[in-house]
C-alpha cells in the first residue's frame, strides 16, 4: 500500500511539473530575434533599375521607386535624372514634423528655370490605381483613412474594393511628386519626402512615387526652414544637391547593395505581431493594434557584400 502511494506521489509530481511547463507564458519574441532567425528567401534585393541615389555633401540617400503604382511619374523622374536635371539644384524646404522638399529654386522664373530636355514638365496625376489584380498583403487592423490597409510590392498601401481603387500611404520616408492646385500640375521636377508623423490626409491627393530606404536621417535632421511652410528664405540656407543618379547607371562597386524584407511572408507577419503586441518586460500594456505607418520595413546590407569588420 505504501509503495503504491509512493509511486502515485511521483506520478503526481511529474504531471504537475509537465502542466507547469505547459502553463509557462511564452517567451517574448522580439523584432531583433525575428530578423536574426529570418531566411534568405524572406529578403529581396533592391533593384538598381528602380533605385535613385540622391547625393548630398552629408552622404547618400537611397530611394526605391514604385513603378507599379505610378509608372508615368517614375519613368519621367528617371528621364529627368538621366538628363541631370536635379544635379546642382537644392533642398528648398524642411518643415518640422512634415516634409523635406527639393527642386529648382528658380522654377517660377521662365527665363531662369532649369530647362527640361527630354522629360515632361507635367503629367496626369497617378493618385490611385485599380485594386483588382494588384498584389496586396492586408494588415488585420482597422484604419482611419481607408477601408483596408496592407502592403503591395513592399510598399505601405491602402485599397477600397468597392471603388476598385488602391493607393500608397503617406508613411515616414515616403516620396511624393509636388504639384500646384491643379491635380495634373506635377511631374516629378519637385519631390518631397515625409519626415514627420504620417500626413495621411495627403493620400490620394499627391502622386507617391517611392520611399527612402537608406539615409533618411540626412533629411530628417536638416535645419528647419524659417519661411512659410518651412521654405528656406535665403539661398545660403539651401543644401545643394550634388547629383541624382539611377543606381543601374553606376558601376557595381559604386552602388549601395541593400536588400529589403519581403512583406508577403510568414516571417513578416511575425514581425508585425511582435510590434502589435510588445511582450518585452518593459511593456506593461499591450496595444493590441498597429497602424500601417508604425510597421517597420527592414532594410539591410546584402550579407555576401557586407564590409569586413
The CATH number for 162's domain is 2.40.100.10
Contact 165, 177 (CB under 8 A): no
With 0-12 CB in 10 A as exposed, 13-18 as middle and 19+ as buried, what is 237? Answer: middle
User: 205 in a domain, yes or no?
Assistant: yes
Contact 142, 209 (CB under 8 A): no
Phi, psi of 33 (to 5 degrees): -70, -40
User: 204 in a domain, yes or no?
Assistant: yes
Phi, psi of 35 (to 5 degrees): -65, -40
Q: Which of 24-38, 166-180, 217-231, 282-296 has the lowest mean pLDDT?
A: 24-38
Write out the three cell numbers for 34. 525575428
Q: What percent of the chain has pLDDT over 70?
A: 89
Number of domains in the chain: 1
For the stretch 250-292, pLDDT in tens is 999 999 999 999 999 999 999 999 999 998 999 999 999 999 9
The parent domain of residue 137 ranges over 48-251
C-alpha 303/C-alpha 309 separation (Å) is 13
C-alpha 186/C-alpha 178 separation (Å) is 6
Query: Residue 187: CB partners within 8 Å, gap ≥ 6?
Result: 73, 76, 119, 120, 121, 122, 123, 177
Prediction pTM value = 0.89
Q: What is the mean pLDDT of residues 13-30?
A: 53
Write out the three cell numbers for 121. 514638365
Contact 300, 43 (CB under 8 A): yes
Q: What is the mean pLDDT of residues 109-122?
A: 95
Q: How far is residue 282 from each of residues 28, 78, 123, 279, 286, measured CA to CA in Å? A: 11, 46, 50, 8, 11
- Beta strands 99-103 and 155-160 are unpaired
User: 13 in a domain, yes or no?
Assistant: no
User: 43 in a domain, yes or no?
Assistant: no
User: 226 in a domain, yes or no?
Assistant: yes
* CB-facing half-sphere around the CA of 296: CA atoms within 13 A: 15
User: 4 in a domain, yes or no?
Assistant: no
- Beta strands 258-261 and 299-301 are antiparallel
User: 147 in a domain, yes or no?
Assistant: yes
C-alpha 244/C-alpha 62 separation (Å) is 10
User: 129 in a domain, yes or no?
Assistant: yes
Query: Residue 250: CB partners within 8 Å, gap ≥ 6?
Result: 48, 53
- pLDDT over 50 at 6, yes or no: no
Amino acid at each position: 500500500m505504501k509503495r503504491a502511494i509512493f509511486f502515485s506521489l511521483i506520478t503526481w509530481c511529474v504531471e504537475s511539473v509537465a502542466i507547469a511547463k505547459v502553463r509557462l507564458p511564452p517567451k517574448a519574441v522580439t523584432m531583433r530575434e525575428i530578423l536574426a532567425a529570418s531566411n534568405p528567401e524572406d529578403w529581396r534585393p533592391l533593384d538598381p533599375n528602380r533605385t535613385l541615389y540622391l547625393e548630398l555633401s552629408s552622404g547618400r540617400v537611397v530611394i526605391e521607386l514604385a513603378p507599379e503604382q505610378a509608372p508615368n511619374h517614375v519613368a519621367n523622374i528617371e528621364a529627368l535624372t538621366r538628363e541631370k536635371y536635379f544635379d546642382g539644384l537644392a533642398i528648398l524646404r524642411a518643415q518640422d514634423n512634415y516634409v523635406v522638399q527639393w527642386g529648382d529654386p528658380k522654377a517660377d522664373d521662365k527665363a531662369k528655370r532649369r530647362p527640361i530636355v527630354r522629360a515632361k514638365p507635367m503629367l496626369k496625376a497617378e493618385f490611385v490605381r485599380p485594386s483588382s489584380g494588384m498584389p496586396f498583403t492586408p494588415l488585420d487592423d482597422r484604419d482611419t483613412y481607408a477601408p483596408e490597409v496592407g502592403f503591395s510590392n513592399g510598399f505601405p498601401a491602402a485599397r477600397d474594393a468597392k471603388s476598385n481603387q488602391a493607393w500608397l500611404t503617406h508613411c515616414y520616408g515616403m516620396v511624393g511628386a509636388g504639384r500646384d492646385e491643379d491635380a495634373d500640375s506635377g511631374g516629378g521636377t519637385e519631390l518631397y519626402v515625409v519626415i514627420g508623423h504620417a500626413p495621411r490626409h495627403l493620400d490620394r491627393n499627391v502622386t507617391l512615387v517611392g520611399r527612402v530606404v537608406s539615409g533618411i536621417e540626412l533629411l530628417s535632421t536638416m535645419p528647419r526652414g524659417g519661411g512659410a511652410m518651412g521654405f528656406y528664405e535665403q539661398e545660403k540656407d539651401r543644401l545643394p544637391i550634388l547629383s541624382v543618379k539611377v543606381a543601374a547607371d553606376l558601376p557595381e562597386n559604386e552602388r549601395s547593395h541593400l536588400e529589403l524584407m519581403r512583406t508577403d511572408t510568414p516571417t513578416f507577419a511575425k514581425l508585425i505581431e511582435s510590434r502589435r503586441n510588445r511582450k518585452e518586460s518593459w511593456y506593461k500594456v499591450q496595444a493590441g493594434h498597429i497602424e500601417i505607418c508604425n510597421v517597420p520595413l527592414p532594410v539591410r546590407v546584402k550579407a555576401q557584400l557586407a564590409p569586413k569588420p
